[in-house]
Structures are given as structure tokens and as C-alpha cells.
DNA sequence: CAAGTCTGTCATAAG
DNA sequence: GTCTTATGACAGACT
């Protein structure tokens, strides 16, 4: 089993690598427990395979065939996955690494190259460049200077256009479809493009980068995408540039930007929960200690979701450390999920605060499922009607003036993020499974996790007030303990971390004995909690299997009893017929004097040659005794 | 309010 | 010997 598991895992890994080389990224976590086990160490507790749904013991040999079939099925699904372009984007960002944040993936995706090559970069050069970059991103939210949709679109057409764009986002080809609609319309990317243009020199450089990126993408990935997804990709018409690949790569471009935009792009279409982790990984692995410049930050912000263009600017600019991306994503994530800015700022101030994901699968009655919250409508009304929750209204009340962004713009983008059908929530819940650390939990458990959808619960009014105290109450004992001791890790991180990483974490961070002790306790309890869950599930499965066995055996017994009764009936019938025949034969037999033969004194005896003779019963009985004695002796 | 269920935790055996 | 996992037992919350 172990060898087979390893073989399957390696094969699937190679397959995934091959797919990634052609621009397709396969999310192994969605269906491949061995990968995690390989990376994190063997642990059934980490297995995302819900054994409750399998009704199999994890050590059961039946799982072998299951994994094989499942793997093949998922590979086929991955090949035919309509979301390939989106996932491909991430793969390209990882491999190519030339992206510029402004004119990079998002800019290109959203069609900046439609105008950027025609616009001479020098036109936009000027002294305004530096202030624009250091001005806390204000230009990006300047309504008068930007012909964004909100200002141009007719309010009546607003919903329609938004829906179209939303479809563009929701469509599996993601940005490319959006671009298609761009040919006739203006979109968010033009905000970015114009922003670039007004930024001056670097804006021009960004345009160059944009074209380079577009060219790069059209040369490398787009064809692959087209060949894979067969989508009508309008960007092919927008790639007339002949920037060579090396030139595109040689641009002075921050990988962080590209990665951030990547994460943003992915997140903006619903993979909210994926972003922080994936981004954190990319950031830590590829940009070691590279502090983000203000330029980078300004380039970041136009690409960020307008929902997050609020009071976070100061935080972002003040804390330009290596965790800035995490904070940005946390902030945007929190805002998208309806967190109160105060809470979010507290999250930033307290690095030990929980990531919002918890292994605690206790079902709080106050928690609301996603399906419940999906009934909330966003952006049905103009302006401030986008969000109905108090926290959100608070968070956006002062937004328009402070950030300078148009509320309509914000609302529109928020609509694009929120006003979606159930598939959006399905995707969210899927990504909960894929990208958080609650590997043992089912999506429904995650949905009902109190921390995870705290904002939704606040919206639904099931919690009295979305105060921090309510959040505290929803924390588990370990979470509260960790928070009180200022432990700079979330509980699920502590629990799900591999042993090696866990030990490194304990050694690299300065932690008190109490903190270390508590961390170890948290890890032990968390592990044991998962183990207990798995154990109970296995026990339940065993019980169910035994019940099935009992039912099968009962059915078999019934069947055998019926067969026996049938045989007995047949046997008695044959005996009766034989008896009748016997009597019939004797009634016709006559002795030498012509008298009838008495059946009580004589019997019929069948010889070995087939002849039948009439013998006296006493002789017959003595022969029978001899035969039985012979049999006994032989035995 | 009692009974049943669920879940987290502890202690301990097993690998 | 240490660590991790599995499992029985218990307690508390919940239904």
C-alpha cells in the first residue's frame, strides 16, 4: 500500500509538473492527500479525504482502487477544467516572473495594451511622476482624471454592464473575456492604464512593461491557453508587439508585484481564502527580504480591489516590511468578507491573532452558513446600498472622501466580487478546503466555522453586535490562550505545521517557556482532536460495515433456510414416491405358490449389476450390518 | 429535566 | 527514549 501510494503520488506529481510546463496548474490539494503527507509527513489526520464519505478505513485495501480511480477521474477533470486560464495565470506568474504590477498581469489582463503602445510614453513623462507615486495612491482613485465605468456608464446600464463584467470575471477564461468586452468599452484596466500614463516616465516604462508582458504572455502562455481551453481569446489581437522574451524578462520588474496581482486576480474571482497562503508562499520563497518600495506599492494599489481602497493606505505605507503583502491581502480579504476596519487593524496590530481559520469545528448556533449569507444582495441600490451590514457601512462611510475613490466604482467592484451566483460561494467553500489548514474538515464544517464567516454572521443579525468581544467569544480556548500570550501564530498554523517547520519555528522565534509550553499543548491537543475525529469516523465506519455484514449474513441465512426447506420438501416427496413404488412392486410380486409377498418379511435388493432380487429382510439386515462393520473398519 | 449525541481532552498503548 | 498516532474514557455542551 505504501509503495503504491508513493508510486501514485510520484506519477501524479510528474503529471502535474508536465501540465504546469504547458501552462496548466493542477491543484493537487483538492484531491491528493499523499502530497501533503509527503510534504508534511505521513498523517492520516491531515488527509483531506473525508473518510466519512468513503465509509472506509484509511488502511483499508479498498482505498487502493479508490485512489486510482479518483486520481484518473480528477486528472481528466483537470484537463477539461474550464478554469484552466485562471489557474494558468498563476502558473505563468510563478514560472515567468517578469510581471509588473501595474502593467503586469492585471494590466495586461485587463487590456492596457489596447492603448499603451499607441500612446508614446514620453507624453506622460513629467515631474508629476514622483508625487503621483508617493501620494498614497490618490490618483488611482481620482474620479475626474479617470474615465472609469462608474463615471461614464449610464446608471441604467450600470447593472447590465456590471453583470457583463461580472460574467467576464466569472467566466472561466477570466481576464480574457473581460478584455473582449473591453474592445468596445472601457474598464478598470483603463484606470490603470491612464494611471500609468499620468505617472510619467515610469508610467511609460510600465507601458513598455505592459506591452512586454502582453507580448510575453501572448508568446508563452496565451497560445497554450488557447490550445488548451479553446476559448476565443481576444488578447491575441492585442499582441502585435515584437518584444522578445528576454527583453520582457529583463525589465526591471518586481516579482512581488506580479505575484500580488496574481493573487489579486485569483482572489477577485472568488478564491478569497486562497490568496493569503499562496501569496505568502510565493512571497517568502521568491522575494527574500526584498522590501517593497513606494513605487511598488503605488503600482500595487491600482490593481487592488477597490473595496480595499480605504483607510488601509496608511497602514500599508507605514509597514513596508516583508509582511506587507500578507497585510494587504489580509486587509482586502477582511474587507471583502465584511470585517470591520477596526478589527482588521487589530489583526495587524496583533500578529498573534488568529488567521480566522480554526480547527475548531464546533458548530456555533450563531454561525451562518454561506448559503444563508448568499441571500444578501449587494449593489442593488445606487451608492451606499452596496453593503447592508453595519460594519461595512461603517467601513465605507468615510471612504469616499478619504481615499478619493468613487463610491460607484467601489460599489461596482464590490458587486463584481460579491454579487454572484451560488457558484461563487461554492468556489469559496472549495477553496476553504484547498487552502486553509483545516484539512480534516468538510466544507460545511468550514462554512459554519464561527471565525471564518464572522462577518456574515454579523450581517445576518444572529450576533448582537459585531464587536471584538463577539469575536473573542467565538474563539476556542486555545485561540484565546494563544492570543493572551501573544503567540505570533494561529492555532491552525501551530497544529497543521509539519514537525520540522514547527521545531524551526520554536527555535527561530524568541518565545518564552510559557509560550512554548502553550504552543506545544495547542499542537498536541489539536493533533489529538483531529485524531479523535478520525478515530470516531473510523469507528463509525467499522460499525456501519459490521451492520452491513450482519444484514448480509441474515439474508444469507434466510436463503439457506429456504433452500433447506425446499430440499426437505423434495426429499419427503421422493420418499413418498419411492414408498408408493415399493408397495406397487410388492403388490405385484408372487412367491412360488402364487401368494403375494409380504413386504414386512422381504425386501428388494439392487445388485451391482443392476439386477433386482427379492431377499428376506433378516438376510438383508445381516448384510447391512456386515457392510456397516466393513465401513467402520475401513475408517 | 432526563436521555442521547457530539466534541474536546486526557491518559495510555502501540508503532 | 522520544515522538506521533490511535483509542478508550470522561466531561461538558448541545439536542
Q: Are residues A65 and A151 in the same domain?
A: no
Is residue A420 situated within a structural domain? no
Is residue A152 situated within a structural domain? yes
Contact positions of strand C to protein Cβ (< 7 A): 3-9, 14-15
| Closest-CA residue to A428 (of A444, A412, A416, A440) | A444
Q: Are residues A165 and A213 in the same domain?
A: yes
Rank A267-281, A287-301, A365-379, A565-579 by mean pLDDT and report only the highest.
Answer: A565-579
A163 Cβ partners below 8 Å, 6+ apart? none
Q: Are residues A16 and A162 in the same domain?
A: no
Cell 491552525 belongs to which residue?
A: A492
Which tens digit of pLDDT belongs to each residue from A478-521? 777 777 778 888 888 888 888 888 888 888 888 888 888 888 88
Contact indicator for A145, A139 with CB cutoff of 8 Å: yes
Q: What is the DSSP annotation of A337-387? A: TT--HHHHHHHHH-TTS--S--S-----TT---HHHHTT---SSSSGGGG-
Is residue A9 situated within a structural domain? yes
Which nucleotide across the nucleic acid strands is nearest to A359, CA versus C1'?
B8
Q: Are residues A115 and A241 in the same domain?
A: yes
The confidence band for A577, taking pLDDT boundaries of 50, 70 and 90, is very high
The protein residue nearest C4 (Cα–C1') is A43
The protein residue nearest B9 (Cα–C1') is A525
Is residue A439 situated within a structural domain? no
- The whole-number pLDDT of residue A553 equals 93
A525 Cβ contacts chain B strand, under 7 Å: yes
C-alpha cell at A598: 409380504
Cα angle for residues A334, A337, A341 (degrees, 5° grid): 45
- The whole-number pLDDT of residue A572 equals 97
Q: Are residues A177 and A287 in the same domain?
A: yes
The confidence band for A79, taking pLDDT boundaries of 50, 70 and 90, is low
Is residue A534 situated within a structural domain? no
A494 Cβ contacts chain C strand, under 7 Å: no
What rounded mean pLDDT belongs to chain A?
50
Q: How many domains does chain A have?
A: 3
d(CA A441, CA A433): 8
Which tens digit of pLDDT belongs to each residue from A4-53? 444 444 455 455 555 555 555 544 444 443 333 333 333 333 333 333 33
| Better-predicted residue by pLDDT, A6 or A397 | A6
A527 Cβ contacts chain C strand, under 7 Å: yes
Which nucleotide across the nucleic acid strands is nearest to A364, CA versus C1'?
C14
A525 Cβ contacts chain C strand, under 7 Å: no
| Better-predicted residue by pLDDT, A561 or A405 | A561
A367 Cβ contacts chain C strand, under 7 Å: no
A360 Cβ contacts chain B strand, under 7 Å: yes
Is residue A384 situated within a structural domain? no
Q: Are residues A54 and A186 in the same domain?
A: no
Beta strands at A602-606 and A612-616: parallel, antiparallel or unpaired:
antiparallel
- The whole-number pLDDT of residue A567 equals 97
**Distance from CA(A576) to C1'(C9), angstroms, rounded:** 64
Which nucleotide across the nucleic acid strands is nearest to A362, CA versus C1'?
B7
Which tens digit of pLDDT belongs to each residue from A240-258? 334 333 333 333 333 333 3
**Distance from CA(A540) to C1'(B2), angstroms, rounded:** 26
3-state secondary structure of A533: helix
**Distance from CA(A530) to C1'(B12), angstroms, rounded:** 18
- The percent of residues in chain A predicted with pLDDT above 70, rounded, is 25
A538 Cβ contacts chain C strand, under 7 Å: yes
Cell 488557447 belongs to which residue?
A: A226
- The whole-number pLDDT of residue A472 equals 53
Q: Are residues A121 and A50 in the same domain?
A: no
Q: Are residues A134 and A111 in the same domain?
A: yes
A476 Cβ contacts chain B strand, under 7 Å: yes
Is residue A576 situated within a structural domain? no
A96 Cβ partners below 8 Å, 6+ apart? A216, A220, A221, A249
Q: Are residues A60 and A97 in the same domain?
A: no
A477 Cβ contacts chain B strand, under 7 Å: yes
Q: Are residues A227 and A328 in the same domain?
A: yes
A621 Cβ contacts chain B strand, under 7 Å: no
**Distance from CA(A524) to C1'(C3), angstroms, rounded:** 11
Environment class of residue A51 by beta-carbon count within 10 Å: exposed (0-12), middle (13-18) or buried (19+)?
Answer: buried
Q: Is the pLDDT of residue A594 over 50?
A: yes
**Distance from CA(A467) to C1'(B5), angstroms, rounded:** 32
Domain boundary residue among A47, A71, A95? A71
Q: Are residues A310 and A229 in the same domain?
A: yes
Which tens digit of pLDDT belongs to each residue from A154-179? 333 333 333 333 333 333 333 333 33
A573 Cβ contacts chain B strand, under 7 Å: no
Q: Are residues A34 and A154 in the same domain?
A: no
- The whole-number pLDDT of residue A12 equals 53
A 159-198: CB within 7 Å of strand B: none
- A140: domain range? 84-336
**Distance from CA(A357) to C1'(B4), angstroms, rounded:** 31
Contact indicator for A99, A255 with CB cutoff of 8 Å: yes
Q: For residues A300-311, give the mean pLDDT.
A: 36
Amino acid at each position: 500500500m505504501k509503495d503504491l501510494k508513493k508510486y501514485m503520488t510520484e506519477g501524479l506529481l510528474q503529471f502535474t509538473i508536465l501540465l504546469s510546463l504547458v501552462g496548466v496548474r493542477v491543484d493537487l490539494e483538492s484531491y491528493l492527500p499523499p502530497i501533503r503527507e509527503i510534504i508534511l509527513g505521513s498523517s492520516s489526520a491531515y488527509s483531506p479525504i473525508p473518510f466519512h464519505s468513503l465509509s472506509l478505513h484509511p488502511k483499508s485495501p479498498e482505498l487502493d482502487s479508490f485512489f486510482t480511480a479518483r486520481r484518473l477521474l480528477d486528472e481528466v477533470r483537470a484537463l477539461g477544467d474550464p478554469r484552466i486560464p485562471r489557474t494558468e495565470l498563476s502558473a505563468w506568474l510563478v514560472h515567468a516572473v517578469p510581471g509588473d504590477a501595474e502593467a503586469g498581469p492585471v494590466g495586461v489582463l485587463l487590456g492596457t495594451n489596447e492603448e499603451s503602445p499607441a500612446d508614446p510614453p514620453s507624453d506622460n513623462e513629467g515631474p508629476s511622476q514622483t508625487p503621483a507615486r508617493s501620494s498614497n495612491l490618490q490618483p488611482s482613485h481620482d474620479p475626474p482624471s479617470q474615465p472609469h465605468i462608474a463615471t461614464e456608464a449610464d446608471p441604467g446600464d450600470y447593472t447590465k454592464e456590471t453583470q457583463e463584467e461580472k460574467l467576464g470575471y466569472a467566466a472561466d477564461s477570466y481576464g480574457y473575456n473581460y478584455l473582449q468586452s473591453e474592445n468596445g468599452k472601457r474598464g478598470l484596466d483603463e484606470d490603470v492604464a491612464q494611471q500609468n500614463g499620468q505617472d510619467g516616465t515610469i508610467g511609460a516604462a510600465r507601458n513598455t512593461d505592459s506591452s512586454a508582458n502582453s507580448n510575453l504572455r501572448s508568446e508563452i502562455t496565451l497560445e497554450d491557453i488557447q490550445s488548451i481551453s479553446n476559448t476565443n481569446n481576444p488578447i491575441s489581437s492585442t499582441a502585435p508587439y515584437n518584444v522578445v522574451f528576454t527583453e520582457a524578462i529583463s525589465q526591471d520588474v518586481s516579482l512581488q508585484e506580479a505575484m500580488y496581482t496574481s493573487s489579486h486576480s485569483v482572489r477577485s474571482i472568488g478564491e478569497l481564502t486562497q490568496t493569503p497562503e499562496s501569496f505568502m508562499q510565493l512571497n517568502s520563497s521568491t522575494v527574500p527580504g526584498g522590501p517593497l518600495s513606494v513605487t511598488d506599492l503605488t503600482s500595487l494599489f491600482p490593481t487592488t480591489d477597490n473595496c480595499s481602497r480605504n483607510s488601509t493606505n496608511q497602514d500599508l505605507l507605514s509597514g513596508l516590511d516583508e509582511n506587507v503583502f500578507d497585510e494587504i491581502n489580509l486587509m482586502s480579504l477582511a474587507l471583502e468578507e465584511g470585517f470591520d476596519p477596526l478589527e482588521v487593524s487589530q489583526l495587524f496590530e496583533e500578529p498573534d491573532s488568529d488567521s480566522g481559520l480554526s480547527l475548531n469545528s464546533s458548530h456555533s448556533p450563531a454561525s451562518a452558513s454561506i448559503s444563508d449569507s448568499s441571500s444578501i444582495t449587494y449593489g442593488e441600490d445606487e451608492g451606499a446600498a452596496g453593503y447592508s451590514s453595519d460594519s461595512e457601512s461603517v467601513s465605507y462611510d468615510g471612504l469616499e472622501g478619504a481615499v478619493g475613490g468613487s463610491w460607484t466604482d467601489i460599489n461596482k467592484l464590490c458587486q463584481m466580487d460579491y454579487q454572484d451566483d451560488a457558484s461563487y460561494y461554492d468556489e469559496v467553500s472549495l477553496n476553504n478546503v484547498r487552502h486553509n489548514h483545516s484539512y480534516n474538515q468538510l466544507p460545511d464544517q468550514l462554512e459554519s466555522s464561527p471565525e471564518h464567516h464572522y462577518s456574515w454572521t454579523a450581517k445576518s443579525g444572529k450576533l448582537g453586535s459585531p464587536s471584538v468581544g463577539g469575536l473573542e467569544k467565538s474563539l476556542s480556548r486555545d485561540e484565546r490562550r494563544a492570543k493572551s500570550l501573544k503567540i505570533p501564530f494561529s492555532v491552525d498554523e501551530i497544529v497543521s505545521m509539519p514537525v520540522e517547520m514547527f521545531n524551526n519555528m520554536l527555535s527561530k522565534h524568541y518565545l518564552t517557556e510559557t509560550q512554548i509550553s502553550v504552543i506545544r499543548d495547542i499542537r498536541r491537543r489539536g493533533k489529538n482532536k483531529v485524531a479523535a475525529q478520525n478515530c470516531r469516523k473510523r469507528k463509525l465506519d467499522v460499525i456501519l460495515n459490521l451492520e452491513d455484514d450482519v444484514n448480509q449474513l441474515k439474508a444469507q441465512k434466510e436463503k439457506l433456510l429456504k433452500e433447506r426447506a425446499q430440499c426437505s420438501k423434495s426429499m419427503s416427496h421422493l420418499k413418498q414416491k419411492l414408498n408408493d413404488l415399493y408397495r406397487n412392486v410388492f403388490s405385484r410380486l408372487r412367491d412360488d405358490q402364487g401368494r403375494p409377498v409380504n413386504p414386512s418379511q422381504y425386501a428388494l435388493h439392487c445388485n451391482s449389476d443392476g439386477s433386482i432380487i427379492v431377499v428376506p429382510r433378516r438376510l438383508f439386515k445381516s448384510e447391512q450390518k456386515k457392510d456397516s462393520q466393513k465401513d467402520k473398519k475401513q475408517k
